[in-house]
Amino acid sequence: MNPRYRTAHRGSILHFRSDPGLQDDPASYEYWEHGALILADGHVEAVGPAAALLPAAAGNMPVIDHGHRLIMPGFIDTHIHYPQADVIASGGRNLLDWLEHYTFPAEKRFADAEHAFEVAEFFLNELLRNGTTTAQVLGTVHKQSVEMFFRAAAERGLRMIAGKTLMDRNCPADLRDSAVEGEREMRELIETWHGRDRLHYAITPRFAATSSDAQLQSAGRLAREFPSVFIHSHLAETRDEVAWVQQLFPDSRSYLDVYDRFGLLRERATYAHCIYLDAGDRQRLAASGAGAAFAPTSNLYLGSGLFDIAASDAAGMRFALATDVGGGSSFSMLRTMAEGYKVAQLLGQKLSPLRAFYLATLAGAQMLGLADRIGRFAPGTEADFIVLDPHATALLARRSAQSRTLSELLLVLMTLADDRAIASTYVLGELQELA
Ligand code: GUN
Ligand code: ZN
């Protein structure tokens, strides 16, 4: 039998065990200023203080010393559109205007599989350069957009979730499927890709406004038939969208109720935005086990509104951070944390730096039902991690040198840092060499 391939990484180490909440619960995280992360065959074998772990770790395993840098689990982006890599930083008065003028035209190009593969490669590079190792990703209506994405993700050994968008009405004719065609394509994609390598399929109705009753019924039917498959959509992002959905589904109590009636609320279901919900919706979302993707750069860029952290907490809702590129204005989860902090400020609420880093790592894994594999360092979890350099720029070095506590350092990083501070990204213990 081959001996297990082991390596050790030294540096400051931070990871979470649970939600720090509003009080920065000290039991919610582990931090070692001089820590060690020991890997065996791409998985975590042990984590803890270097002084205790390294002498005891037998054998002549290579030790990679990251010095003062901070090792943490890779970021998890719970909602992002890969076909919108070329739409980021387009104008648009609001969501519906932006969809019509920028997004739908860009998505039409994904009828061409070669184009889709080229964008998927660029997109994955960009995620990894930003320290994001897992994402829940929308493709376009074209089946091959998802095939090309999964192919590119599998080549890199990444844990990724993706699905083709279902759209059978209220969209351009050449971006339209039908309930029957959409279901056939989903079944083929689930059969071929779900559970293969580190890939997962998500049933992805774009949003209630672009699917007929028949298509939402079909999505609910598949969600019941394949309980391990994910569900992924948008919900209550803007006031105009909410009013439109209410017109399209006059019998539903609320926008959320549309998804509920079609059996689309359950664990492993993620709804992006969740801004315009009432207390009943939030209670129902929490009870169903579905979660919300909080996408602050998108909500501010498109002028959609402010995600209410306090109301979500009060209802016991699950939520985690997301970039929502291309409505979102950055691939960086650090930039996303910074904007999330400002959204909380505008509502007179609080998002502590510790909680922001939790929402960018373990919270995503928990919401996606993947916390036994990613999002934290525990023996047996997959070694997807990043190394953050608090000295990456002159300003970062100057400011972080003056931080006295971990919380102060994290606030400096999330406020000032971006992809320049991601010194390295590891996937299953392998350093990613990025263009
Ligand atoms: N709602 C429906 N489609 C989209 C989309 O592509 N982006 C965002 N942010 N919201 C949506
Ligand atoms: Zn989105």
Interval 369-389 mean pLDDT: 98
- State how far the Cα of 183 lies from the Cα of 177, in Å rounded to an integer: 10
pLDDT tens track for 341-351:
999 999 999 99
Query: What ligand is nearest to the CA atom of residue 232?
Result: 2
Q: Is 397 helix (H, G, I), strand (E, B) or coil?
A: helix
Query: What is the residue-wise DSSP string for 293-324?
Result: EE-HHHHHHTT-----HHHHHHHT-EEEE---
408 CA to centre of ligand 2 in angstroms: 31
- Cα dihedral 325/228/206/215 (nearest 10): 170
108 CA to centre of ligand 2 in angstroms: 17
pLDDT tier at 57 (50, 70, 90 boundaries)? Answer: confident
Interval 53-81 mean pLDDT: 92
CB of 327 shorter than 6 A to ligand 1:
yes
Q: What is the 3-state secondary structure (H, E, C) of 93-122?
A: CCHHHHHHHHHHHHHHHHHCHHHHHHHHHH
For residue 71 the two structure tokens come to: 């090792």
Shortest CA distance to 166 belongs to which of 251, 223, 244? 223
370 CA to centre of ligand 1 in angstroms: 25
CB of 165 shorter than 6 A to ligand 1:
no
Where in the chain are the domains?
6-74+376-431, 75-367
Nearest atom in ligand 1 to the alpha carbon of residue 237 is 10
- State how far the Cα of 266 lies from the Cα of 268, in Å rounded to an integer: 6
Nearest atom in ligand 1 to the alpha carbon of residue 103 is 6
Nearest atom in ligand 1 to the alpha carbon of residue 165 is 3
Nearest atom in ligand 1 to the alpha carbon of residue 328 is 9
pLDDT tens track for 107-129:
999 999 999 999 999 999 999 99
For residue 233 the two structure tokens come to: 């959509």
pLDDT tens track for 292-308:
999 999 999 999 999 99
Interval 239-257 mean pLDDT: 98
- State how far the Cα of 162 lies from the Cα of 127, in Å rounded to an integer: 14
Interval 213-240 mean pLDDT: 98
Residue 281 pLDDT more than 70? yes
CATH of span 75-367: 3.20.20.140
Could you say which of 3.40.50.10490, 3.40.50.150, 2.30.40.10, 3.30.300.30 is the CATH number of the domain covering 6-74+376-431?
Answer: 2.30.40.10
pLDDT tier at 2 (50, 70, 90 boundaries)? Answer: low
CB of 232 shorter than 6 A to ligand 1:
no
350 CA to centre of ligand 2 in angstroms: 24
Own/partner pairs, 31-37, CB within 8 angstroms, 24+ separation = 31/406, 34/10, 35/10, 35/11, 35/71, 36/8, 36/9, 36/10, 37/8, 37/9, 37/13, 37/71, 37/377, 37/383, 37/385
Query: What ligand is nearest to the CA atom of residue 255?
Result: 1
- Confidence at residue 167, expressed as pLDDT on a 0 to 100 scale: 98
Q: Is the dihedral of CA 44, 50, 52, 57 positive or negative?
A: positive
- State how far the Cα of 15 lies from the Cα of 199, in Å rounded to an integer: 24
- State how far the Cα of 231 lies from the Cα of 221, in Å rounded to an integer: 12
pLDDT tier at 421 (50, 70, 90 boundaries)? Answer: very high
- State how far the Cα of 318 lies from the Cα of 364, in Å rounded to an integer: 9
- Confidence at residue 172, expressed as pLDDT on a 0 to 100 scale: 97
Residue 320 pLDDT more than 60? yes
- Confidence at residue 90, expressed as pLDDT on a 0 to 100 scale: 94
Shortest CA distance to 79 belongs to which of 177, 206, 175, 192? 206
234 CA to centre of ligand 1 in angstroms: 7
Residue 58 pLDDT more than 80? no
- Confidence at residue 1, expressed as pLDDT on a 0 to 100 scale: 40
pLDDT tens track for 181-206:
999 999 999 999 999 999 999 999 99
Query: What is the residue-wise DSSP string for 360-379?
Result: TTHHHHHHTT-TTTSSS--T
80 CA to centre of ligand 2 in angstroms: 6
Query: What ligand is nearest to the CA atom of residue 166?
Result: 1
Closest Cα to atom 8 of ligand 1: 327
Determine contact, residues 239/305, Cβ cutoff 8 Å: yes
Q: What is the mean pLDDT of the chain?
A: 97
Residues forming beta bridges with residue 9, ordered by sequence position: 37, 64
- State how far the Cα of 258 lies from the Cα of 280, in Å rounded to an integer: 14
pLDDT tier at 55 (50, 70, 90 boundaries)? Answer: confident
Nearest atom in ligand 1 to the alpha carbon of residue 81 is 6
For residue 220 the two structure tokens come to: 């609910």
Whole-number percent of the chain with pLDDT over 70: 99
Q: Is the dihedral of CA 87, 93, 94, 97 positive or negative?
A: negative
> Rg (Cα) of the chain, in Å, rounded?
21
